[in-house]
Amino acid sequence: MSDQQLAADIAASASASVSALRWYVVHAYSGMEKAVERNLKERIERSGMQTKFGRILVPTEEVVELKGGKKAVTQRRFFPGYVLVEMLLDDDTWHLVKHTSKVTGFVGGARNRPAPISEAEVMKIVNQMQEGIDKPKPKVEWQVGELVRVKEGPFTDFNGAVEEVNYEKSKVKVSVTIFGRATGVELDFAQVEKV
């Protein structure tokens, strides 16, 4: 066999294995998803199985929270305890993932034969992650009619019901009772808390 033929066969098998990569959901200890991602990448590198693995995703979104009156953008996992792994499933890759530190196993399918998730499901998750980067969500979500307590400003310690929520401006309109009359007051998210 010529060197060119051998190179063509290797390229064909590599492209075949890349197309055979499927997405699997791996269950990890809660709060350890990034450690699992790191451990998997190290183990794949050490074992020389890079061609049998693709991307590893920890689904996160950016959220805006108020710390000390200032907005801070942080990462929040929207599937805590789960990591998505793109891989060619065989005995070697199954054992590598299953015996990675902080991994409890695969989700779905039979005990030792997990079921892959569809590319459409993965794209939905990736799009959700991208939306979080483009437009971070507030960490606390308010609902119309929800009871809140004003914790700072001229209406401190007043209770009221949320009338409107403006996530663009990080403001809520709260109906508080002043001198026996309901009055709508616009407040920053940081000025109110759930009752």
- pLDDT (tens digit per residue) in 35-48: 999 999 999 999 99
State the first-to-last Cα distance of the chain, in angstroms, to the nearest integer. 76
Tokens 């791996």 correspond to what residue? 26
Other CB atoms within 10 A of residue 33 CB: 22
Instruction: Please give the pLDDT value at position 141.
Output: 77
How confident is the model over 33-87, as pLDDT tens digits?
A: 999 999 999 999 999 999 999 999 998 877 777 666 667 777 878 788 999 999 9
Gyration radius of the chain's alpha carbons: 25
pLDDT per position as a tens digit, 120-138: 888 888 887 777 666 656 6
Query: 189, 171 in Cβ contact below 8 A?
Result: yes
Question: Quick one: pLDDT at residue 133?
Answer: 65
**Nearest by Cα to 174 from 126, 142, 139:** 142
CA-based nearest residue to 93, from 32, 36, 55, 40: 40
Q: Per-residue pLDDT tens for 154-176?
A: 888 899 999 998 877 778 899 98
Q: Which residues are paired to 82 by β-bridges?
A: 27
